[in-house]
Amino acid sequence: IDSLPTIEKLVFQTWNALPDSYSNMKKYAFGVLSIFGSTYLCEQIFSNMNYIKSKYRTRLTDESLQSCVKIKVTSYMPDVEKLSSDVRKQKSH
């Protein structure tokens, strides 16, 4: 819940504050709320997938597409300078 924006956090906290006598209602509410979150993520990933595998990249394999989508949706930022400093330089001919 801590990673949610303020308004979403408030919605979850409000439902969570209900007494245990409303446990069925709380379960139903959290189920409904989680549908919207997962639907958004699915739509976002599907849009990224369609952008990556366009009509100009029809030969892209499913494995390559899966790797590209993972890179697109991740928040990981590699240290490019460190990675490139470990690579041996090749002399040109």
pLDDT tens by residue, 72-85 = 888 888 888 888 88
Cα–Cα distances in angstroms (integers) from residue 78 to residues 54, 73, 84, 92, in the given order = 26, 14, 11, 27
What SS3 class is residue 47?
Answer: helix
Cβ-proximal residues to 69 (8 Å cutoff; 6+ apart), any chain: 45, 48, 49, 52
Residues 65, 53 contacting (CB under 8 angstroms)? yes
* Amino acid in the structure at residue 67: S
Q: If you search the block for the tokens 């209900």, which residue do you land on?
A: 18
Reported confidence tier of residue 3, pLDDT bands at 50, 70, 90: low
Q: Is the pTM of this model over 0.75?
A: no
Using a pLDDT cut of 90, give the percent of the chain over it. 0
What pLDDT, on a 0 to 100 scale, did the predictor assign at position 44? 82
